[in-house]
Homo-oligomer: A and B are copies of this chain.
Amino acid sequence: MGGDSAPHVEVLGAVQAAKEYQVGIILVGAEPRIREELKKHDVEGLPIEIVQASEVITMEEDVSTALRKKKDSSFRVAAKLVRDGKASGVVSAGNTGACMAVTKMVLGTLSRVDRPALVAVIPTSKGRPAILLDVGANVDCKPTHLLQFAIMGEIFSRSILGINRPKVGLLSIGEEESKGNELTKEVFPMLKASPVNFVGNIEGRDVFRGDVDVIVCDGFVGNVALKLGEGVTEMFTTLLKKDLSKHLSSKIGALLSRQAFDSFKAKVDYSETGGAPLLGVRGVVIICHGSSTAKAIKNAIRVARECSFCQMNERIEEGVKALQFLQRPASENILIN
């Protein structure tokens, strides 16, 4: 119920997913509104049910207020269905911060996972998608958090995106091990010693090149990077459209450039990849853009289904467990007298 066009696009996307992927759907929210939306579609025989939730967390809502006051929000009710084993995962286009906070409270993290990570699936010049994590679940990370992000991202890339032996890079400001801030310099040798296919530091300009499949960074840097990428694309589109229409003669030009733009947009379209999975939590949680289309919702449901089917969380727990034999950096040691 929390998306910008809820529950219209959510219901449409869910109906399409139920048809295409043979996945059971529970729509959680204001039952009358959802029932009304469902009437617009042919849902005969589809495994779709409704669970009532009386409240909605808005986009502007403060996370702590949402946590404290809205006990019957649609996201919270949905997360409880996952906790209680009635659903494998939850997909939402609601307030990202609130979704993450409710998830942590209701579902909690997987065994040995210190912090969940929000994953952005991003387009690259080479055509195949890369992932960037964390893009906003955690700021001020410690080296071991980034190490766990690498493990979780590697497993997601392998099991969901089907990339064999994904290359893992650390987002920094120079290729050499000695380049970076305190955090990246500490995590670099840990990544080298870890079982992932670590290819070293990568710079901002390499993020969209497609040479690296899993790009690890702290949530502050990842969030700035992701939104900056969106911003540049927006600027680029605005400026170039102006220039194209100046140079291409009127209507033919507009038509031709629209085709090219549409085809281009499909490639860099975030809705193609669904939403942002929150890795490291119990159950499957996919958080979509507030302005998601039905197609994005449908794709997010597909990704959620795949995460569940391939037992991604069990793999993550195993992967993180294997890390415990690696040395923690000195800065994280706890002194016990």
Residues B181 and A220 in contact, CB atoms below 8 Å apart: yes
Which residues of chain B come closer than 8 Å to A182, judged between CB atoms?
Answer: 139-140
- Asked if A105 is at the interface (CB within 8 A of a chain B CB), the reply is no
- Interface SS of chain A: helix, strand, loop or mixed? helix
The distance from the CB of A172 to the nearest CB of chain B, in whole angstroms, is 8
For residues 103 through 138 of chain A, which have their beta carbon under 8 Å from a beta carbon of chain B? 123-125, 136
How many Å lie between the Cα of A225 and that of B229 in the bound state? 9
The distance from the CB of A15 to the nearest CB of chain B, in whole angstroms, is 31
* Mask: chain A, 52-92; 1 = CB below 8 Å from B; 0 = not: 00000000000000000000000000000000000000000
Which residues of chain B come closer than 8 Å to A263, judged between CB atoms?
Answer: 243, 246-247
Residues B236 and A260 in contact, CB atoms below 8 Å apart: no
* Mask: chain A, 135-150; 1 = CB below 8 Å from B; 0 = not: 0100110000000000
Residues B225 and A204 in contact, CB atoms below 8 Å apart: yes
Residues A235 and B208 in contact, CB atoms below 8 Å apart: yes
Binding site for B on A (CB under 8 A): 97, 123-125, 136, 139-140, 171-174, 180-182, 184, 203-209, 217-221, 223-236, 238-240, 243-244, 246-248, 253, 256-257, 259-261, 263-264, 267-268
Which residues of chain B come closer than 8 Å to A229, judged between CB atoms?
Answer: 204, 228, 232
Which residues of chain B come closer than 8 Å to A220, judged between CB atoms?
Answer: 172-173, 180-181, 184, 221
Residues A246 and B260 in contact, CB atoms below 8 Å apart: yes
Cβ-neighbour of A180 out of B139, B227, B253, B267 (below 8 A): B139
* Residue with the greatest number of chain B CB neighbours at <10 A, chosen from A182, A220, A259, A268: A220
Closest to A245 in B: B260
The distance from the CB of A186 to the nearest CB of chain B, in whole angstroms, is 12
Which residues of chain B come closer than 8 Å to A253, judged between CB atoms?
Answer: 256
Which residues of chain B come closer than 8 Å to A139, judged between CB atoms?
Answer: 173, 180-182
14 A-B pairs (CB sep. < 8 Å): A123-B235, A172-B220, A204-B226, A204-B229, A208-B232, A224-B224, A229-B232, A233-B236, A239-B267, A240-B260, A240-B264, A243-B264, A244-B257, A244-B260
Q: Say yes or no: A232-B233 contact (C-beta < 8 A), given A240-B260, A247-B256, A257-B244.
A: yes
